[in-house]
C-alpha cells in the first residue's frame, strides 16, 4: 500500500523497523474494541477476602508461562457460563488493585476477558544478539514473529525444529489381567493294614477278638477333628472292620472329607477338598492292655489352596500438558503400541488460540473417531478444571504422547489477529504516509479504518431475524 516491496530491492531496514512498530501500535488501538471470539478467554479465579481478583498473576520465574493477564474485563459470572443458559453474571467494579466482584460470589468466579494485545517487530533474529524474556523478533523464513520465553537467549533460532517434547503421563492405576481362578487340590491319604515295623508280621484276617484299628485326624493347627476305634467282636473280616470305621467317620460329617474303603486290599482312603489335615494316630490296638502299634499310611496328594477368579483391572493414565508443552499452533499426538509392535496414532492440530483443555478435548475427540483397532474400547474422561485427559485401557499397550511444536522451546510464536488484518494494515500504512509528510493521504486512509473494523466485526455476527428477501410481502388494503 505504501509502494514498497522487499523483493524490489528498495525496501530498507530503517523503513521496515518503523512499519513493524506501526503495526503494533494499530493492534493496540483496535485489539480490545470488540469481543473478538478469537482471543476472548474465560478463566476461573478465587476472590480474596476483599472480594478482589487481580488483573494479573505473574510467575516468579520468567521462564514459565504467565498464568493470565487481563487487559479488558468483559463480564464476571458466579458460575461457569458454559454450563448453563441461566443468567449468571454479576456486577463488578474495576479498581486499581483488581476487579471487585461483588458480595454474592462463592469460592470461585468466572471472568470473561481479553489479554493484552500481542507485540510485533520487524527486527530479524540475529544469532549473536542476547534476547531476554518477552523480547520479540521477526523470522524472515516464516514471516512470523516470535517472543523469547527465557532470559539470556543466545543462538537459538526461533524457526528451527526441535525434538518433540513428551506430554506428562501419570499412571493412576496399573493394568491387572483377569484370571479364571485355580481350583483347590485335595489332600488324599491311604491307610493300609500293615505294621509299621522293620519286619512286619502278617496281619491276621480277621484280627483276634478284642483287637482293632484306631484313626485320629487333626487339623493343621493340631486341633482334634475326629478320632474313632473299631474292635473285633467275633468273626468280622478286616474289610468289614474298616467299613465300620468309615461309618463312624461318616457320621461326624466333617466338611470336605470323604472316606472310602477298598475291600479287596483292604485299605481306607481319606480325602479332604477344603483344607490340609494331620494324621495324629493310625494304630493297631491289641489286647486288654490296649497296646497300640503304628501302622503304615502314605499321602498320595498334598492339599493346595486354590484362587478365586479375578476380573480385569484396567490401566488408567492421566495426560497433562505442562507449560513447556503448551505451544500455540502445535501438532499434538498420542501413540499406542501393542506387544507385537503394532502402533496406532491419533493427532490434533491445535489452533494458536487453543487452551490446554481445548487441546486435550481435541485429542479425546480424535480417540473416539479413530478407526485404528488399538483405540477400540478405550475410555476417556476430560477434566477441564485441572485440565487433564484420562485414558482407561483394558489391554497391554505402550503409550506415548508428544507435541510437535512450530518453534523452539526458547521462543513462542506470536499469532497475528486475523480479524484485524485489514484495518491494521490500512492504519499502519496511513501512519507511514504521515511520517513522509503526506498528511492528506494519512487522513483519508485513517478515515477508512473504522469501516474496515466494522466489516471484520460483522463477519462474526449472526443476524437472528434476517430481512425479507423473496418472501411474500403483505398486500395493500387498497388492492383486491
Convert the pLDDT of each residue in 64-110 to its tens digit. Answer: 445 688 988 999 999 988 888 887 899 999 999 999 999 989 999 99
Which residues, at least 6 apart from 365, have a Cβ–Cβ distance to it below 8 Å?
A: 348
Cα separation, 289 vs 480, whole angstroms: 139
Res. 198 pLDDT band, cuts 50 70 90: confident
pLDDT reading at 329 higher than 80: no
Q: Nearest CA to 16 among 1, 27, 26, 6?
A: 6
Are the C-beta atoms of residues 172 and 388 closer than 8 Å to each other?
Answer: no
Tell me whether residue 466 is in a domain: no
Q: Do 221 and 148 fall into the same domain?
A: no
Tell me whether residue 211 is in a domain: yes
Q: Nearest CA to 302 among 190, 204, 186, 194?
A: 186
pLDDT at 62 (0 to 100) = 44
Res. 290 pLDDT band, cuts 50 70 90: confident
| Domain C-terminal end among 301, 320, 342 | 301
Number of neighbours of residue 109 by Cβ within 10 angstroms: 23
Q: Do 266 and 318 fall into the same domain?
A: no
Tell me whether residue 473 is in a domain: no
Beta strands in 232-357 (DSSP E): 257-262, 267-272, 277-286, 291-301, 315-320, 331-337, 343-349
101 versus 164: the higher-pLDDT residue is 101
Q: Nearest CA to 227 among 219, 217, 213?
A: 217
Number of separate domains in the chain: 3
pLDDT at 66 (0 to 100) = 52
Q: Do 147 and 16 fall into the same domain?
A: yes
| Domain C-terminal end among 244, 278, 301 | 301
Are the C-beta atoms of residues 122 and 58 closer than 8 Å to each other?
Answer: no
Are the C-beta atoms of residues 43 and 82 closer than 8 Å to each other?
Answer: no
Res. 467 pLDDT band, cuts 50 70 90: low
162 versus 56: the higher-pLDDT residue is 56
Are the C-beta atoms of residues 11 and 5 closer than 8 Å to each other?
Answer: yes
Q: Which of 51-55, 79-83, 442-446, 459-463 has the highest mean pLDDT?
A: 51-55
For the residues 280-289, what does the mean pLDDT come to? 85
Tell me whether residue 266 is in a domain: yes
Q: Exposure pattern of 280-305 as b/e (b: 16+ CB <10 Å)?
A: eebbbbbeeeeeeeebebeeeeebee
pLDDT reading at 200 higher than 80: no
Owner of C-alpha cell 486354590: 306
Q: Which residues pair with 98 in a beta bridge?
A: 95
Q: What are phi and psi of 27, to 5 degrees?
A: -65, -40
190-199, 291-300, 375-384: segment of lowest average pLDDT: 190-199
Q: Do 147 and 13 fall into the same domain?
A: yes
Q: Do 13 and 154 fall into the same domain?
A: yes
pLDDT at 21 (0 to 100) = 83
Cα separation, 470 vs 93, whole angstroms: 48
Task: Find the domain containing 394 and state its range.
Answer: 168-177+311-404
Q: Which three cell numbers stand for residue 449?
A: 479504518
310 versus 337: the higher-pLDDT residue is 337
For the residues 35-59, what does the mean pLDDT come to? 84
pLDDT at 61 (0 to 100) = 45
* Confidence (pTM): 0.42
Sign of CA dihedral 202, 204, 208, 210: positive
460 versus 295: the higher-pLDDT residue is 295
Q: Nearest CA to 207 among 239, 253, 171?
A: 239
Average per-residue pLDDT in the chain?
Answer: 83
Q: Do 285 and 356 fall into the same domain?
A: no
Q: Do 58 and 23 fall into the same domain?
A: yes
Biggest CA pair distance of the chain: 142
Q: Which three cell numbers stand for residue 166?
A: 513428551
Residue 158, SS3 per DSSP? coil
pLDDT reading at 480 higher than 50: no
Tell me whether residue 240 is in a domain: yes
Q: Do 229 and 283 fall into the same domain?
A: yes
Tell me whether residue 478 is in a domain: no
Q: Do 146 and 291 fall into the same domain?
A: no
| Domain C-terminal end among 283, 301, 319 | 301
Q: Phi-psi bin for 256: left (phi > 0), alpha (psi -120 to 50), beta?
A: left
DSSP run (H or E) holding 412: strand 411-414
Residue 349, SS3 per DSSP? strand
- Residue 35, exposed/middle/buried by CB under 10 A (0-12, 13-18, 19+)? middle
pLDDT at 453 (0 to 100) = 82
pLDDT at 63 (0 to 100) = 42
Cα separation, 144 vs 161, whole angstroms: 14
pLDDT at 31 (0 to 100) = 82
Q: Do 220 and 256 fall into the same domain?
A: yes
pLDDT reading at 186 higher than 90: yes
pLDDT reading at 228 higher than 80: yes
CA atoms within a 13 Å half-sphere pointing along the CA-CB vector of 97: 6
Owner of C-alpha cell 466494522: 454
Which residues, at least 6 apart from 108, have a Cβ–Cβ distance to it below 8 Å?
A: 44, 45, 46
Owner of C-alpha cell 477434566: 383
The string of pLDDT tens digits covering residues 235-248 is 889 999 999 999 99
pLDDT at 442 (0 to 100) = 86
Q: Nearest CA to 19 among 37, 8, 5, 33?
A: 5
The string of pLDDT tens digits covering residues 344-381 is 889 998 876 788 999 999 999 999 999 888 898 899 99
Q: Which of 72-81, 137-146, 153-162, 285-294 has the highest mean pLDDT?
A: 72-81
Provide the CATH number for the domain around residue 364. 2.60.40
Q: What is the 3-state secondary structure (H, E, C) of 173-214?
A: ECCECCECCECCECEEEEEEEEECCCCCCCCCCCCCCCCEEE
pLDDT reading at 143 higher than 90: no
333 versus 35: the higher-pLDDT residue is 333
Number of neighbours of residue 188 by Cβ within 10 angstroms: 18
347 versus 289: the higher-pLDDT residue is 347
Q: Which three cell numbers stand for residue 436?
A: 513522509
Amino acid at each position: 500500500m505504501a509502494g514498497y516491496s522487499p523483493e524490489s530491492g528498495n525496501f530498507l531496514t530503517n523503513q521496515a523497523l518503523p512499519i513493524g512498530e506501526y503495526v503494533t501500535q494499530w493492534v493496540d488501538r483496535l485489539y480490545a474494541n470488540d469481543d473478538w471470539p478469537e482471543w476472548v478467554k474465560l478463566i476461573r479465579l478465587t476472590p480474596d477476602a476483599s472480594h478482589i481478583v487481580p488483573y494479573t498473576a505473574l510467575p516468579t520465574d520468567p521462564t514459565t508461562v504467565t498464568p493470565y493477564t487481563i487487559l479488558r474485563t468483559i463480564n464476571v459470572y458466579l458460575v461457569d457460563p458454559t454450563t448453563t443458559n441461566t443468567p449468571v453474571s454479576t456486577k463488578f467494579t474495576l479498581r486499581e488493585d483488581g476487579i471487585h466482584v461483588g458480595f454474592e460470589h462463592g469460592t470461585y468466579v468466572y471472568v470473561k476477558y481479553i489479554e493484552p494485545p500481542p507485540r510485533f517487530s520487524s527486527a530479524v533474529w540475529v544469532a549473536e544478539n542476547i534476547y531476554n524474556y518477552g523480547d520479540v523478533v521477526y523470522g524472515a523464513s516464516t514471516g512470523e514473529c516470535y517472543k523469547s520465553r527465557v532470559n539470556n537467549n543466545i543462538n537459538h533460532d526461533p524457526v528451527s525444529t526441535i525434538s518433540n517434547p513428551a506430554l506428562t503421563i501419570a499412571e493412576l492405576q496399573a493394568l491387572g489381567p483377569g484370571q479364571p481362578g485355580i481350583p483347590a487340590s485335595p489332600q488324599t491319604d491311604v491307610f493300609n493294614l500293615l505294621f509299621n515295623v522293620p519286619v512286619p508280621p502278617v496281619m491276621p484276617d480277621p484280627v483276634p477278638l478284642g483287637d482293632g484299628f484306631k484313626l485320629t485326624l487333626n487339623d493343621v493347627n493340631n486341633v482334634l477333628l475326629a478320632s474313632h476305634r473299631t474292635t473285633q467282636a467275633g468273626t468280622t473280616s478286616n474289610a468289614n472292620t474298616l467299613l465300620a470305621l468309615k461309618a463312624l467317620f461318616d457320621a461326624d460329617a466333617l466338611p470336605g472329607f470323604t472316606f472310602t474303603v477298598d475291600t479287596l486290599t483292604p485299605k481306607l482312603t481319606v480325602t479332604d477338598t477344603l483344607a490340609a489335615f494331620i494324621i495324629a494316630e493310625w494304630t493297631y490296638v491289641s489286647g486288654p492292655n490296649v497296646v497300640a502299634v503304628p501302622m503304615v499310611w502314605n499321602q498320595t496328594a498334598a492339599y493346595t489352596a486354590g484362587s478365586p477368579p479375578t476380573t480385569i483391572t484396567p490401566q488408567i493414565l492421566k495426560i497433562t500438558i505442562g507449560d513447556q508443552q503448551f505451544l500455540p499452533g502445535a501438532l499434538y499426538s498420542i501413540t499406542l503400541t501393542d506387544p507385537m509392535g503394532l502402533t496406532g496414532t491419533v493427532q490434533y492440530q491445535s489452533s494458536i488460540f487453543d487452551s490446554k483443555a481445548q487441546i486435550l478435548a481435541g485429542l479425546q475427540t480424535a480417540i473416539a473417531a479413530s478407526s485404528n483397532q488399538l483405540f477400540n474400547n478405550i475410555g476417556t474422561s476430560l477434566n477441564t478444571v485441572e485440565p487433564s485427559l484420562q485414558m482407561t485401557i483394558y489391554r497391554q499397550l505402550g503409550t506415548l504422547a508428544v507435541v510437535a511444536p512450530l518453534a523452539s522451546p526458547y521462543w513462542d510464536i506470536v499469532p497475528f489477529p486475523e480479524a484485524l488484518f485489514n484495518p491494521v494494515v490500512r492504519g499502519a500504512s496511513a501512519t507511514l504516509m504521515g511520517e513522509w509528510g503526506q498528511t492528506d493521504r494519512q487522513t483519508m486512509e485513517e478515515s477508512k479504518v473504522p469501516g474496515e473494523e466494522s466489516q471484520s466485526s460483522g463477519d462474526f455476527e449472526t443476524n437472528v431475524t434476517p430481512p425479507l428477501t423473496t418472501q411474500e410481502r403483505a398486500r395493500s388494503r387498497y388492492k383486491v
